[in-house]
Amino acid sequence: MEAIKFYGAEICKDCRAAHPLLQEKGIGVEYIDITASTANLRAFLALRDQEPAFDKVKAEGRIGSPAFVFPDGSVTLGVEWLQGESGCRNC
């Protein structure tokens, strides 16, 4: 399976929690730290601006990380899908 894009930041507790869950499940990711560079932040903001999955978090004034983009282009926010509660269509 192609790697999942994982947009996050080390200052985010949910992002930090996602790393061991991904490793435990053997899921390959391309981690993109949105605080590491302007290019990473721009890529995240472009995704956030166009993807309806972010509508609720934007309305609540939140950032929307962690965000996961699956190989089929679907996007999910949060770590619930890693805990078996929803989400990953290809894992």
**DSSP string covering 17-64, please?**
HHHHHHHHHT--EEEEETTT-HHHHHHHHHHHHH-GGGHHHHHTT---
In this prediction, residue 84 has a pLDDT band, given cuts at 50, 70 and 90, of low
1 vs 22, which has greater pLDDT? Answer: 22
DSSP state of 84: T
C-alpha distance from residue 23 to each of 29, 50, 73, 87 (Å): 9, 29, 21, 17
pLDDT at 81: 83
15 vs 86, which has greater pLDDT? Answer: 15
- Spatial distance between the Cα atoms of 48 and 39, rounded to a whole number of angstroms: 14
Decide yes or no: CATH 2.60.40.420 for domain 4-83: no
Spans of all domains in the chain? 4-83
